A and B are shown apart, each in its own frame.
Chain A
Amino acid sequence: MIESKLLPTEYVTKPGHIKTSTGKTLRTDEMIINMGPQHPSTHGVLRLEIVVDGEIVVDVIPHIGYLHRCFEKHAEAMTNYQQVIPYCDRMDYLASMNNDWGYALAVERMLKIEVPARVEYIRVIMAELQRIASHLIAVGTFGIDMGAFTPFLWAFRDREKILDLFEMTCGARLLYNYIWIGGVSHDLPSRFVEQAKEFCTYFRPKLVEFNNLLTYNEIFVKRTANVGVLPKDVALNYAVSGPTLRGSGMNFDLRKDDPYGVYDKFEWEVQVGKGEMGTLGDVWDRFIVKVREMEQSIKIVEQALAAIPEGNVQQAIPKRIRPDANEIYVRTESPRGELGFYIMSDGSSSPYRVKARGPAFVNLSVLPEISRGCMIADLVAIVGSMDIVLGEVDR
């Protein structure tokens, strides 16, 4: 790290001046660099305007909106609540199952529909498998940001097996339109449970291999420990959620603290960062929370596969959705954090207003706060550790 006894905020006294550790002030010139909308890293179309003094970042101004597709306006134009689900897929395209479930849950609570037990179990299995797939991308691409090209391909090799499971069920690999209001679109095929169990036994040793290659690698730890420290109170003030918040030591997971579905029937633990390799709340903590959450998700999937009941998955799907004039906010835990849907209906069969609270959007807002005083290479690490998906940030 920078060997200076000054705190990051003391390093830059005012624009264009640096205080050296002997107390003198040097006049320097700042450069405004654009990490443009097209990134060589894989975060999507995010523009970061960086004011940089040599290698030290003085300020970061994120510019978003390059992927805005008017999701919320489209939702208002739909003639039916069910028709909004494909749009929800495309919001956070790496966690489609979780998005669909969030929206479907909100409408079901508004209509007070009870779904069959089999549907609940299927939803949990799909959501947790999707969480593993999403975290695999997050840790894989984070490895690439750090210069390790191999873990990315290993992560994608494992993710292919999950996508095979999804394709077997609903025909799609990325955007599923699977979790409908009141049920799911297709029942599980006959080979699903067996193949999913095979995947669980296959995946656990792969995680160990992955950890040996990347997570505990000395160079990786030196790049990520004590970098981008997000203190717990700052995280709570900025409404950060998900692994980013849990990495700062806060034990808060909506699956336990505001349970939905049948999550309360399974035995698993919330993963919280402990500051093992450096400061609590640094980039390494956020990374290890994601890796450990994948293990817990496998645990949940195995328990759900063992306990899944029989039933008809389509029986509770309503023929006509016409709720009373009402409003509701329902939040679920997507791989990125608290995904909330605020739905307002006016009594007709088309939604009046659908507002999506995207966790990546809120998490991104804390970026300028935690990256002042770091180096440009650290900035890449911090952005990668927050696991943003621009589809969700911009909607």
Chain B
Amino acid sequence: MEQLLKFILGDNVLVYVLYCAPPLVFILLYALVTLYMEMKVAAHIQDRVAYMRTGWHGVLQPFADILKLIQKEDIIPTQADRALFILAPFLVFIGTYAGFAAVPFSPDYIGSNINLGVFYIVAASSIVVIGLLMSGWASNNKWSLLGAMRSAAQLVSYEIPTALTIVVVVMITGSLNLQEVIKAQEGGFFNWIIFGGAHAPLWQKIAMTPFTVTAFLILFTASLAEVNRTPFDLPEAESELVQGFNTEYSGMKFAVFYLAEYANMFLVSVVAVCLFLGGWQSPFGSAMSGPFWGIFWIVAKGMFFVFLQVWIRWTLPRLRVDQLMYTSWKVLTPFLFVCIFAVGLILVL
């Protein structure tokens, strides 16, 4: 795609700007779809129907929500730290959007083909922590501050399991670049890394599968914590914190926080999918595969895990903050050390 754009426009700054546009366009469209999906999935789990009147079965409701948020009054508390207050939501969004640069949407399109790949994604999404802390502090509100501190602690501690699962995958594929990781999973469903990767003999696959499946489940759980979704949404929607670090935000800034949360949901889903479930590889091997089929597969798989995240949110209660930390440090991390050791052992033997 880069070559195509250079052919049309010549070697120009505009080429690079257009090259970066697809993830942003994708995020905006995807947010609309996910807003609708969340509201309908929540409604059906709760034995009710959601909006039925704005458009057929409520399909225009996300537009209505966004229009409402855009035209709302932008309130900044008098005692709030203006610069930090205004900057915080955008920092959170930037942290997420930056991660999309290293996600390969198709065999031909990856925003930035660096060999750091997924390591860069984990590092860039740590910027979110700074944004959250800024919003909590700048709101001049004790509840927001509490929420932001809890959120920072939670995000930082769940980056450890995330990074360790990446180690598992890197041991199998030998590369951090997500394009290479996905290319090492070609050949259909049983060649995905969750079963041991395309280059492993059968006995290795059978031996590795329990550990890679565990690693994948831990990655999924840690990613729930990274996006502040139930059961880990204590910083955000706790009954006493009103809305946590979000409390004082209204209108467009709140919309940016919301957008950042949905973008983050997709980012962590798609990273999990790329690492373990084949990314843009078709599960049928060479049938239904190709540059445009690749986009379909990766988006479909990513959306499935977003759907899972929504499903879990409306089913489970939330963990208390110390239980959450206990889970990360004393449950997920030791299991992952075992997984890394076992996978390494199997690969060497």
Binding site for B on A (CB under 8 A): 1-2, 31, 33, 35, 39-41, 55, 143-150, 153-154, 157, 213-214, 217, 219-220, 222-223, 375-380
B234 contacts across to A, CB distance below 8 A: 147, 377
Is B48 part of the binding interface, using a Cβ–Cβ cutoff of 8 Å? Answer: yes
The reply to whether A219 and B318 form a contact with Cβ atoms under 8 Å apart is yes
The reply to whether A154 and B317 form a contact with Cβ atoms under 8 Å apart is no
Known: A33-B146, A35-B240, A222-B319. 12 other contacts (CB 8 A): A55-B321, A143-B317, A145-B239, A147-B238, A148-B317, A153-B47, A153-B48, A154-B47, A157-B48, A223-B318, A377-B238, A380-B240
Given A31-B142, A147-B231, A154-B46, verify A375-B315 contact (CB < 8 Å).
Answer: no
> How far in angstroms is the closest Cβ of chain B from A189?
27
Report the tally of A-B residue pairs with Cβ distances under 8 A: 82
The reply to whether B239 and A41 form a contact with Cβ atoms under 8 Å apart is yes
CB-nearest residue of chain B to A227: B320
Given A41-B240, A153-B46, verify A147-B322 contact (CB < 8 Å).
Answer: no
0/1 string, B226-250, CB within 8 A of A gives 1? 0000110110011110100000000
The reply to whether A219 and B46 form a contact with Cβ atoms under 8 Å apart is no
Across the A-B interface, the 9 shortest Cβ-Cβ residue pairs: A147-B318, A153-B46, A148-B317, A41-B239, A146-B317, A147-B317, A377-B320, A145-B239, A220-B317
The prevalent SS among residues of A at the interface is: helix
Give the contacting residue for A378; candidates B46, B230, B318, B320; CB below 8 A. Answer: B320
- For window 197-211 of chain B, which residues contact chain A by CB distance below 8 Å? none
> How far in angstroms is the closest Cβ of chain A from B3?
49
The reply to whether B239 and A219 form a contact with Cβ atoms under 8 Å apart is no
Residues of B in contact (CB 8 Å), total 27
B320 contacts across to A, CB distance below 8 A: 222-223, 375, 377-378
Give the contacting residue for B319; candidates A41, A149, A223, A380; CB below 8 A. Answer: A223
The reply to whether B239 and A144 form a contact with Cβ atoms under 8 Å apart is yes
The reply to whether A157 and B239 form a contact with Cβ atoms under 8 Å apart is no
Given A41-B239, A377-B238, verify A150-B230 contact (CB < 8 Å).
Answer: no
0/1 string, B312-340, CB within 8 A of A gives 1? 00111111111100000000000000000
Is B97 part of the binding interface, using a Cβ–Cβ cutoff of 8 Å? Answer: no
CB-nearest residue of chain A to B241: A40
A153 contacts across to B, CB distance below 8 A: 46-48
> How far in angstroms is the closest Cβ of chain B from A248?
23
A378 contacts across to B, CB distance below 8 A: 320
CB-nearest residue of chain A to B239: A41
How many Å lie between the Cα of A222 and that of B321 in the bound state? 12
B87 contacts across to A, CB distance below 8 A: none
A217 contacts across to B, CB distance below 8 A: 316-317
How many Å lie between the Cα of A2 and that of B322 in the bound state? 7
- For window 254-277 of chain B, which residues contact chain A by CB distance below 8 Å? none
The reply to whether B321 and A148 form a contact with Cβ atoms under 8 Å apart is no
The reply to whether B322 and A375 form a contact with Cβ atoms under 8 Å apart is yes
13 contacts between A and B (CB under 8 A): A41-B240, A55-B322, A147-B238, A147-B239, A149-B314, A150-B45, A153-B47, A214-B317, A217-B317, A219-B231, A223-B319, A223-B320, A377-B238
Give the contacting residue for A146; candidates B42, B318, B321; CB below 8 A. Answer: B318
Is B93 part of the binding interface, using a Cβ–Cβ cutoff of 8 Å? Answer: no
B280 contacts across to A, CB distance below 8 A: none
> How far in angstroms is the closest Cβ of chain A from B153?
11
CB-nearest residue of chain A to B142: A33
Is B137 part of the binding interface, using a Cβ–Cβ cutoff of 8 Å? Answer: no
- For window 132-173 of chain B, which residues contact chain A by CB distance below 8 Å? 142-143, 146
How many Å lie between the Cα of A2 and that of B325 in the bound state? 11
The reply to whether A150 and B46 form a contact with Cβ atoms under 8 Å apart is yes
B240 contacts across to A, CB distance below 8 A: 35, 39-41, 376-377, 379-380
CB-nearest residue of chain B to A376: B240
CB-nearest residue of chain B to A145: B239
> How far in angstroms is the closest Cβ of chain A from B93?
25
> How far in angstroms is the closest Cβ of chain B from A257?
35
